[in-house]
Amino acid sequence: MSEEEQIVSKVLVHENDEQALSVLKDICTKNNLVGLKVCSRGTSIGLGDPSNEIGDVLNSNVDLGAIFLYEGEDLHGVTGLELCEKIHRSRPELPIFLRRDDLDSIDDLAEAEKQAIAGCYITGDQDRLQSLVEEYICSMYYPTEFAQGIAQVSEEAFNNVIPGLKVRHDMPYLVKDQIIYGELFSLIPLESAWCRGYMMLQTTESEVLDLIRSGRTQIKNERPTSTDSNNILNEVTNLIWGSIKSRYFANDHNDEETHRTQVPIMVNHHRKHISFGSSEPQLCFKYTLSCPNHEFPDIVLYQRLIFNLSWTPEKFEESDRAVDELINDGELEFF
């Protein structure tokens, strides 16, 4: 497996202790975590108002798996505990890990502080840190073959709907946040004997409208509307969904469709949050669609797979047998 195909997770680090940073770096390397330090204008960690800077990161489009903080004061006299509460209020889905000076517990903290903290560790306690990472960030196993396949079928779908595009994707990663990117998202159920959940595609409307104006899609409209951008995302979603079904769900022989559980999906428009009722990490891909002739600006799409209802990856299998039986896409199979 190449480096590009590994599943990673991004974590936000607000630390100013060299030893602690060194331990975190080791943990990040061991667990495929990408550590993002809160920086300001080329200087080191925590300059400026740290709560504002962390807020900027949280409000940006960075998908996060967790946050690492130190309980004491940073270079600006703001304590980690103060930050914990602020962050937890705005992003309650993100686990916060607190480095403490002496105590390997949060029993002494106020109730509001306890609620904000997922776990704590003392400086240098790599084992404790590792167990927190395993419990909160790497708690859901996604087969790498599955992640590779999703990226492949998705890129094919983008190219089918918008021929001639250059499509690239970042490393697949795990996220725990619930941020909605852009104004446009599609949601389609993924249902099989071994997984149940949703696929969500998110993008910005203006980018898709620019694409349509370029004449590269089947929607021929120089003044496209939101209906047109919806149509493009709808078709891409449909093609990816069909490919996932053919590739991963074709061996299912479970016709039992009844008595299946469902949970409400909650959307907070004000905060641009969407919750599927599960705190398990979601598998996320970021795609960038570029036109070789620069006829339209790059389009960024985020794809999330949220298996909030059922996930048994040990039963995962690619539908080789079923795929062998299929004729090629686009060919007419006569009955």
Partner 1 sequence: MAQVLIVDDSATVRNEVSSFLAANDLSVEVAVDGKDGLDKLQKDSQIKLVISDVNMPNMDGLTMAEKVRSDLGNHGVNIIMLTTESDPRMKSRGKAAGVKGWIVKPFKGDNVVGSIKKLVS
Q: Which residues sit opposite 11 in a β-bridge?
A: 35, 66
CB nearer partner 1, residue 175 or residue 219:
219
Provide, rounded to whole angstroms, the least separation between the CB of residue 246 and partner 1: 5
H or E stretch covering 161: helix 144-161
Place of tokens 């004449």: 215
CB of 153 to partner 1, least distance (A): 11
Residue 34 or residue 187: which is nearer to partner 1 going by CB?
187
Give the H or E element holding residue 235: helix 226-244
Least distance (Å) from partner 1 to the CB of residue 218? 4
- In the bound state with partner 1, the residue whose beta carbon lies nearer, of 61 and 221, is 221
Cβ atoms of 188 and 209 closer than 8 Å? no
- DSSP-assigned beta bridge partners for residue 303: 201, 285
Whole-Å CA distances, 291 to 187, 214, 235, 285: 26, 10, 19, 20
Closest separation between CB of residue 254 and partner 1, Å? 12
- In eight-state DSSP terms, residue 248 is I
Beta carbon nearer to partner 1, 91 or 216: 216
CB of 30 to partner 1, least distance (A): 40
Q: Which residues of the shown chain bind partner 1 in the complex (CB under 8 A)?
A: 160-161, 217-220, 227-228, 231-232, 234-235, 238-239, 241-243, 245-246, 250, 322, 325-335
Q: How far apart are the first and last CA of the chain?
A: 41
Do residues 299 and 269 lie in contact, with contact meaning Cβ atoms separated by under 8 Å?
Answer: no
**Shortest separation between residue 257's beta carbon and partner 1, angstroms:** 12
Distances from the Cα of 57 to the Cα of 53, 261, 280, 297, angstroms: 6, 36, 22, 24
